[in-house]
Structure 1
């Protein structure tokens, strides 16, 4: 069964553009949960451009005992004013999952993954600390990555396939090669005992096709498209529409 984890970063972007606490990330999370999602995802960045550390703490209380909590972030980003560090935030709320992403302040959004063959040794002590907290660890990787044994060796539990190139290819009407790359990574992950997540630019138009082709996807994390579509249809109905798209693929 594929879990839909709703990324609510964009709610925080809108709130921060005006100041104050409206719209509320807490209320958005409650709405998505009430509509049936299986998880809430946030990506607290050191530059505090959207989700802030206080949001991470407040959301932990909302999701506890109801759905999974997934924190995304760069474990190598150092603490700074207002941001205690990614591992410190994970330690404070003990989410079900920590997704490690090699993003930097200069990136508008996450646009590439770790290379396990190159990065495993540097990631190993951080993965060990997260596992000691009882947190499932997922590594963000590029579609087409097939040497995933280093990720398994250092104790990662899952990989999250970066689906941006697939979504772009799908929108242009020729997704076969990009989809094949996603399939190859999923199969390589399963072969070494890793679970598979997916995320970035998945939407109602491409989600069913993606899940029909890519085997054994445990979770999809969707935010930008879902929140954008919710501006017109409402957050609850949009979450339910994504759940129907998952079910249509036989993955729900």
Structure 2
């Protein structure tokens, strides 16, 4: 079985914190607890309106991750908005380019490279020159993977909401096959494969077992919702079990 890393997205922790002015729950404390439980990385998506993750959160997490040199910080966002400023200042191990509009509720589609590929190319090269791996948020379209490689990205992050929506329905197998074919096309093009959006404890194991070569899953909403009931430690351990990793803490 391929080793699949778990990166915990902390946006929803920040969203709850932002409803009051007390500084709780702490985003950095959540990161520490997840890392102590065995999470391989932390993901944040600082949107321009700072409705959840704020600029100072990114700074605090970048400083924290220096004390966890074997783990990774992944900063997501639109490189035509505010993402590149964070990449230039903090040089995370990975950045994920996501084609969100400024007011978009949540990420809901991948890049159209026919439209945006040449605009992305120099920003991909710039991030890589800073030592930052670049992943592009993409729909599960096998025919698009070669173009991702052509403009220079290192990985794709497959947008998994369609798979999650089909889970438990007659379309489940067709969606799994579509994602498997897209992942194989990415691997054949020389790309790494990440995945994320609406993955959870019910569907994650099947996804990583059936979709080849998944290097990393980034999970936020479901994981943080589970942590409200189970606590960070037990939740992270449960998700690690889903990707086939038994961790003793």
What TM-score do the two structures reach when normalised by structure 2?
Answer: 0.94
Alignment match, 2:204: 207
Segments ≥4 residues shifted beyond 3 Å: 171-174
Query: How far apart are the structure 2 equivalents of 1:9 and 1:197?
Result: 18
Alignment match, 2:90: 93
Match of 2:54 among 52, 55, 65: 52
Q: Deviations over 1:127-174 (max 9, x none)?
A: 111111110000000012422222112210000000001001004453
Query: How far apart are the structure 2 equivalents of 1:8 and 1:117?
Result: 32
Segments of 5+ residues of structure 1 without an aligned counterpart are: 78-84
In the TM superposition, residue 242 of structure 1 has moved relative to its aligned partner by 0.3
What TM-score do the two structures reach when normalised by structure 1?
Answer: 0.93
Query: How far apart are the structure 2 equivalents of 1:132 and 1:211?
Result: 31
Match of 1:156 among 153, 158, 183: 153
Match of 1:181 among 163, 168, 178: 178
What SS does the corresponding residue of 1:114 show, helix, strand or coil? coil
Match of 2:231 among 226, 229, 234: 234
Match of 1:5 among 4, 7, 12: 7
Is 1:111 aligned to residue 108 of structure 2? yes
In the TM superposition, residue 105 of structure 1 has moved relative to its aligned partner by 2.6
Query: How far apart are the structure 2 equivalents of 1:143 and 1:72?
Result: 19
What SS does the corresponding residue of 1:196 show, helix, strand or coil? strand
Query: How far apart are the structure 2 equivalents of 1:153 and 1:26?
Result: 37
Alignment match, 1:36: 38
Query: How far apart are the structure 2 equivalents of 1:154 and 1:142?
Result: 16
CA contact (8 A) 2:10 2:42 kept: yes
Q: Deviations over 1:209-251 (max 9, x none)?
A: 00111000000000000000111011110000000111179xx
Query: How far apart are the structure 1 equivalents of 2:83 and 2:119?
Result: 15
CA contact (8 A) 1:146 1:189 kept: no
Indicate how the Cα distance of structure 1 residues 238 and 53 shifts in structure 2: closer, same or farther if over 3 A, else same. Answer: same
Q: Deviations over 1:39-86 (max 9, x none)?
A: 000000001010011100100111221410000000112xxxxxxx21
Segments of 5+ residues of structure 2 without an aligned counterpart are: none
**Cα RMSD (Å) of the superposition?**
1.4
What SS does the corresponding residue of 2:158 show, helix, strand or coil? strand
Aligned length: 242
